[in-house]
Amino acid sequence: MEQLIPHNGNYKKLLSYQKTNVIFCLTYFFVEHFLPKGDRTYDQMLQAARSGKQNIIEGSAASTTSAKTEIKLVNVAKASLQELLEDYEDYLKTRGHRQWEEGSAELEAMRELGKKHNDAEFFMELAQTRPAETIANMCIVLIKQADYLLFRQLQRLGDDFMQNGGFSERMYRLRSEKREERK
């Protein structure tokens, strides 16, 4: 039987959350090691990375009673990561560092690592021995992968809403079923 207040899944199992958690951890490491404290970019990058992760959590929590809020917050997560992507690209450009090109060995290797690993510890271990431009490029790849995961998540949320409706429709449907049972 359908429940009025469903118990929704654990956000920590979402690949999008796992990937954004990695991005947050790497970004924290990056700004701590390669940007001066007090630099506006330091705060902006950290906030964008945090927002990418935290909005998935908040959207998941809101999903119980509001598909609209969940969709909106997942989209905010996606937008925050786009802002962070631009910051990493700007970092590389303004310092004369190379951004890994499509088809380059580094980009392809990182894509594979990003597909196989979603745990922050794995990537943090790599970051310990890498220069700033490598970590920035790693994050760019991971952000693009997270963006794709969030796009797919938004599609699924939209499809679920179209098929099942939202909380108000579920309330109406369940009340109508109860009335019919009493007749």
Residues 66-97 have pLDDT tens digits of 778 899 999 999 999 999 999 999 999 999 99
What is the distance between the alpha carbons of residues 149 and 74, in angstroms, rounded to a whole number? 11
The domain locations on the chain are 14-182
Residue 183: how many CB atoms within 10 A of its CB? 4
What is the distance between the alpha carbons of residues 33 and 164, in angstroms, rounded to a whole number? 47
What is the distance between the alpha carbons of residues 106 and 134, in angstroms, rounded to a whole number? 9
Asked if residues 123 and 79 have their Cβ atoms less than 8 Å apart, the reply is no
What is the model's pTM? 0.86
In sequence order, what are the residues at sequence separation of 6 or more whose Cβ sits closer than 8 angstroms to the Cβ of residue 74? 16, 55, 56, 59, 150, 153, 154, 157
**Strand positions, DSSP E, the chain:** none
**Which is higher by pLDDT, 68 or 43?**
43
Percentage of the chain modeled with pLDDT above 70:
87
